[in-house]
């Protein structure tokens, strides 16, 4: 098959799936809340039961991460996400405000096109299907080419389970012939209502450039500040485990430690005990060469790799006990490549004297490719924690927990989600963990609660007054009518 043939097949499949999805969505738009919830529950259950296999398939196809960790993400994206949205009303009357006399009614967006990444393929697709269908939308998934088979399998399982539970055929589908022109056709198709984009910066920019409504997420160059008030041993344990989780492919993973100088040495020692291996200056330069392309982009061959795999790529030696690799850094920016986002088991390490200096360093790191995303702080001083929350250009400030699992809502109370929006500063229209409410339109039935102001009844200049029904005129007529009925004076 030539490349042209593949592109044409992908474009045709995109058109067919979009039209079938729109037809199914129009049918599903009349479903009751009970029917919607039965379909979603069936889809969540089928992938949750098969999470181990789906996690293994994602690892085998992409080569990224750890199979058991991918299983954890599939379980989270199915069970935890479904439990978080299960009781949210999406059909009919959602809320009544008797004081303002407003009735809110749920309404679907239509056909959602979901772009999914290679780093978290199955879990992201599962999450997007659930939050879309819960709002009575249809969804067509456009997977990353490097993860098309595992993504397709997860979506296929959900579609079949949903259809057995009464969902119209075609409401949930996935591109099988995946090419860039096919994905572009799907995003631009007239049946598409909204694009939900999770992936690299080029993918998100493509989604925003189609002219369709889009919710996109950007990179997460997440700093983790460890204050002198922190439980240093607990901070070291959280940082190393979080960075090692699925080989650091979740965008909210810690990318650089900023240690308060009085506890920096203690933190280094504690991290070493947890499996962190500090690389030499020579090994650091070797890692820079394999992690990034000459343009500064992350090299896909180094994404989601273990320290041993990275050592082989870079031609360096690391101990078998190494869970993550750490490099001492001095600056932030292009002159210090490891200060950027590293979706692999490499972590930067800075030392700053005092929380204000640490605050400044964290802001530098966020500006260098992570604006609006997330930040982690380990501290017990509530004043310092609140100062970080107020001052940092990040919309998830995670306290004394893992960046990976805290930001997505697995270890914190934020909304469980596999799509973390960075707000306006990060190029997104919202700053939330994306969920069903972002894919649900709301109609409002509004009754009057006040009269128009008297000046609103004034005729335009040049218009002869007369025939304008003012509030005072209404009152006068009512009084006159009552007097007439009583036979009183006129």
What residues act catalytically? 251
Residues in the chain: 490
Separation of alpha carbons 373 and 387, rounded Å: 17
Give the whole-angstrom CA distance, residue 269 versus residue 240: 12
Which residue, 143, 204, 101, is CA-closest to 17? 143
CA distance 235 to 99: 48
């Amino acid at each position: 098959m030539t490349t042209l043939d593949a592109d044409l097949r992908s474009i045709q499949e995109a058109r067919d799936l979009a039209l079938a999805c729109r037809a199914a969505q129009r049918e599903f738009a009349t479903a009751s809340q009970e029917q919607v919830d039965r379909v979603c529950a069936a889809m969540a259950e089928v992938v949750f039961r098969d999470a181990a296999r789906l996690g293994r398939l994602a690892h085998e196809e992409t080569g990224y991460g750890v199979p058991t960790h991918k299983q954890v993400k599939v379980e989270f994206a199915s069970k935890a996400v479904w439990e978080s949205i299960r009781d949210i009303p999406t059909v009919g009357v959602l809320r009544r405000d008797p004081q303002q006399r407003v009735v809110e009614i749920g309404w679907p967006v239509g056909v959602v096109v979901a772009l999914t990444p290679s780093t978290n393929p199955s879990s992201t697709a599962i999450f997007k299907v659930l939050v879309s269908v819960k709002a009575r939308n249809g969804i067509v998934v456009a997977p990353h080419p490097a993860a098309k088979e595992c993504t397709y399998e997860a979506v296929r399982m959900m579609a079949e389970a949903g259809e057995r539970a009464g969902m119209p055929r075609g409401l949930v589908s996935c591109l099988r012939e995946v090419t860039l022109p096919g994905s572009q056709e799907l995003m631009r198709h007239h049946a598409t209502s909204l694009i939900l984009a999770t992936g690299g910066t080029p993918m998100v920019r493509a989604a925003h450039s189609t002219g369709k409504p889009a919710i996109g997420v950007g990179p997460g160059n997440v700093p983790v500040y460890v204050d002198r008030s922190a439980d240093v041993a607990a901070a070291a344990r959280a940082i190393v485990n979080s960075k090692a989780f699925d080989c650091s492919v979740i965008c909210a993973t810690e990318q650089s430690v900023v240690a308060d100088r009085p506890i920096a040495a203690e933190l280094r020692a504690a991290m070493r005990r947890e499996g962190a291996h500090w690389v030499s200056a020579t090994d650091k330069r070797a890692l820079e060469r394999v992690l990034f392309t000459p343009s500064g982009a992350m090299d896909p061959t180094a994404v989601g790799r273990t320290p041993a795999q990275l050592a082989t790529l870079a031609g360096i030696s690391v101990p078998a006990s190494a869970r993550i690799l750490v490099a001492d850094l001095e600056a932030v920016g292009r002159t210090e490549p490891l200060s950027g986002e590293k979706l692999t088991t490499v972590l930067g390490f800075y030392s700053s004297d005092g929380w204000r200096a640490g605050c400044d360093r964290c802001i530098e790191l966020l500006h260098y490719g992570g604006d609006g995303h997330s930040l982690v702080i380990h501290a017990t001083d509530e004043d310092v924690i609140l100062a970080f929350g107020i001052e940092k250009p990040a919309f998830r400030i995670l306290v004394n927990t893992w960046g990976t699992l805290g930001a997505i809502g697995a270890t914190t109370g934020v909304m469980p989600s596999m799509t973390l929006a960075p707000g306006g500063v990060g190029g997104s229209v919202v700053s939330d963990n994306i969920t069903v409410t972002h894919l649900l339109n709301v109609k409002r039935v509004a009754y009057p609660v006040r009269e128009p102001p008297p000046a609103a009844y004034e005729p335009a200049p040049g218009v002869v007054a007369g025939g304008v029904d003012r509030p005072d005129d209404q009152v006068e007529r009512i009084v006159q009518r009552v007097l007439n009925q009583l036979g009183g004076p006129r």
